[in-house]
Amino acid sequence: MPAGSFTADITAIRERARQKMEEGPVTGSYGKDPKEVVAVLNEVVATEVVCWMRYTRHAISATGINRAQVAGELITTYQEIIRWMGDGDPTTRRLLEDILADEEEHADDLVDLLAT
């Protein structure tokens, strides 16, 4: 084989891939308790559903709730969860940061709607 050429041991690559698959999706370097992260994310989903239901009901009745305040509380919740995630789960943290950006945009839209 000429110097500087690349060869791949397909058998070894397949074996390493099988080992990694058997280890599962959570590696030893994961910085959070997976069950706790799932519980927090389930709370986020439940909060989103409740907020959506409130927004819908109050948009129809147009009385009773300060929608900008509810949106602000939801944004604060996301910010707290993102801080809690820290570097322990950067992928989930980035996902939540994207959701937070959307929520902030929605809050701005609500403020604009209420001002008109």
pLDDT in tens, 59-74: 656 655 566 666 777 7
The number of angstroms, rounded, from the C-alpha of 95 to the middle of its chain's C-alpha atoms is 4
Q: Global pTM?
A: 0.54
- Do you know the residue count of the chain? 116
Is the pLDDT confidence value at 29 over 90? no
Query: Average pLDDT of 79-90?
Result: 90
More confident residue, 67 or 30: 30
Least Cα distance to 84 among 34, 40, 51, 45 occurs for 40
Predicted local distance difference test score (pLDDT) of residue 98: 93
What are the tokens at 32?
């959070």
Nearby residues of 74 by Cβ (< 8 Å), 6 or more positions away: 47, 48, 51, 103
Predicted local distance difference test score (pLDDT) of residue 12: 83
Q: Could you give phi then psi for residue 64, rounded to 5 degrees?
A: 90, -40
Is the pLDDT confidence value at 93 over 60? yes
Predicted local distance difference test score (pLDDT) of residue 66: 62
Is the pLDDT confidence value at 19 over 90? no
Predicted local distance difference test score (pLDDT) of residue 22: 79
